[in-house]
C-alpha cells in the first residue's frame, strides 16, 4: 500500500495545476511497452493481492532504454465510485504515474482493458453499456484534458460485437471525449480482436472508415502476434510474419490517409522469434506515413517467466530488450 500512498501524494500535488496546453499530439515516433498489472482479476479488488499498479521504477527502467510510451491497462470499475464524481485511490495513483512520466518526457496511453464490454454487457450492442462507456471516457477526458502526455486508448480488443455495433460505441466515446474539451490523440480499435492480419478480411475494413472524431486526432489501434494463428499463445514465430502481417492493413490505411498504432505485439527470446520481431519493427519504421508507433506486450511485475515478458529478471534485461531498445532509441530519427 506504500506505493499507492506515495503516488497519490504525487497526483494530488500535480492535480492543482494543469500542464500547459501545447503539442497535444506531436509527430514524434511513439515507442514503448505495456505496463500490465492493474487490469488483472476483474471483480476482485484488493490492490497488491488481486492486481498491481505499475511503478515509477518501471518507468525509469524503460525510459533509460529509450522507450518513452507506456500503455497502462486499467479497468473502469477501479477508477471511479458510483456516479463517477468520486475517484478511487487507484485513479490518484494512475494520475501520479502520468505526471511522473511527463517529467521523464514520456507518454501514457490509458487503455480500458475490458474486451468490448462493461460488466457482461457489450458496448455498441447494449444501449446502457454504450452510454456508460461514453460517460466513463467523458469523465476521464475531462479530468485529464490538460495533461498533454496522455493518449486515450478506447478499448482493448473488442471481439464479440460486430464492427458496426462496436463503431457505435467507439463514436459515442469519442464524442464524449471531445465534448469534455480534451484534444489529445485517441486510439480506436476495430472489432474481432483488432488484428492487423484480419482487418481487410472482416468488415472492419469497410465499417471502421466511419470513425467520427470532431477533433480530427485519432489513429487506429491494431494488435498483431507472430505465431501461426496470430493469437500470441505460442512462442513459435512463423517465417516472414514480421513483415507480412502488417502489410495489407498498411496499404489499406495509406489509401485512406489514416494513421495507426500497434498497441500489442510480442515475441519470444528464440533467434527465430527475435528476427521476426525485428522485421516487424523495421516494417513500421519504414512506413511511418501510416504507423505512429508501438507498445510491446508486455512488462509487468507479475509476469514471471511469461514467454514475452520484458520485465527485468534478477536485475538483468530480457533478450527482447536489445531489439526494442535499438528501435526505441531511434524513435525521433
Contacts of 17 (CB under 8 A, 6+ apart): none
Distance CA 172, CA 167 (A): 8
Distance CA 192, CA 157 (A): 7
Tell me the C-alpha to C-alpha distance, in Å, between residue 57 and each of 46, 97, 128.
Answer: 22, 10, 39
Identify the three-state secondary structure at position 318.
coil
Neighbours of 116 (CB within 10 A): 28
Work out the angle at residue 161's Cα, subtended by the Cα atoms of residues 158 and 162, and round it to the nearest 5 degrees: 110
Which grid coordinates are listed for 187? 486510439
What DSSP designation does 221 have? E
Distance CA 111, CA 121 (A): 18
Work out the angle at residue 268's Cα, subtended by the Cα atoms of residues 266 and 273, and round it to the nearest 5 degrees: 95
Distance CA 213, CA 235 (A): 38
What are the helix (H) ranges across the chain? Answer: 2-15, 56-64, 89-103, 127-144, 163-179, 204-207, 241-255, 271-286, 320-329
Q: Catalytic: which of 39, 139, 165, 264?
A: 264
Distance CA 82, CA 42 (A): 17
Is 157 catalytic? The answer is: yes
Q: Catalytic: which of 157, 165, 276, 311?
A: 157
Neighbours of 216 (CB within 10 A): 8
**Residue 218: CA atoms inside 13 Å, Cβ hemisphere, count?**
28
Which of the residues are catalytic? 157, 264
Amino acid at each position: 500500500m506504500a506505493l499507492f500512498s506515495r503516488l497519490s501524494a504525487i497526483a494530488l500535488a500535480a492535480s492543482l495545476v494543469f500542464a500547459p496546453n501545447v503539442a497535444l499530439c506531436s509527430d514524434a515516433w511513439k515507442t514503448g511497452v505495456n505496463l500490465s498489472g492493474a487490469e488483472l482479476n476483474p471483480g476482485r479488488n484488493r490492490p497488491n493481492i488481486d492486481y498491481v499498479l505499475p511503478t515509477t521504477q518501471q518507468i525509469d527502467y524503460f525510459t533509460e532504454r529509450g522507450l518513452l510510451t507506456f500503455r497502462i491497462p486499467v479497468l473502469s470499475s477501479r477508477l471511479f465510485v458510483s456516479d463517477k464524481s468520486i475517484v478511487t485511490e487507484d485513479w490518484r495513483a494512475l494520475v501520479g504515474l502520468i505526471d511522473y512520466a511527463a517529467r521523464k518526457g514520456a507518454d501514457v496511453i490509458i487503455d480500458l482493458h475490458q474486451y468490448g464490454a462493461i460488466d457482461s454487457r457489450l458496448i455498441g450492442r447494449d444501449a446502457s453499456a454504450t452510454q456508460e462507456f461514453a460517460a466513463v471516457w467523458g469523465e476521464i477526458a475531462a479530468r485529464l484534458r490538460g495533461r498533454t502526455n496522455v493518449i486515450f486508448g478506447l478499448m482493448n480488443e473488442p471481439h464479440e460485437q460486430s464492427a458496426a455495433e462496436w463503431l457505435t460505441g467507439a463514436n459515442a466515446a469519442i464524442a464524449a471525449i471531445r465534448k469534455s474539451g480534451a484534444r489529445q490523440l485517441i486510439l480506436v480499435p476495430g472489432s474481432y480482436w483488432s488484428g492487423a492480419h484480419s482487418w481487410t478480411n472482416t468488415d472492419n475494413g469497410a465499417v471502421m472508415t466511419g470513425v467520427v472524431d470532431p477533433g480530427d486526432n485519432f489513429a487506429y489501434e491494431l494488435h498483431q502476434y507472430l505465431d501461426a494463428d496470430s493469437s500470441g499463445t505460442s512462442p513459435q514465430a512463423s517465417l516472414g510474419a514480421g513483415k507480412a502481417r502488417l502489410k495489407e492493413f498498411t496499404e489499406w490505411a495509406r489509401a485512406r490517409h489514416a494513421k495507426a498504432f500497434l498497441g500489442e505485439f510480442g515475441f519470444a527470446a528464440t533467434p527465430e522469434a527475435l528476427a521476426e520481431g525485428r522485421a516487424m519493427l523495421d516494417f513500421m519504421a519504414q512506413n511511418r506515413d501510416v504507423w505512429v508507433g508501438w507498445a510491446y506486450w508486455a512488462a509487468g511485475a507479475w509476469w514471471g517467466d511469461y514467454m514475452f515478458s520484458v520485465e527485468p529478471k534478477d536485475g538483468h534485461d530480457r533478450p527482447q530488450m536489445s531489439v526494442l531498445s535499438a528501435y526505441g532509441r531511434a524513435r525521433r530519427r
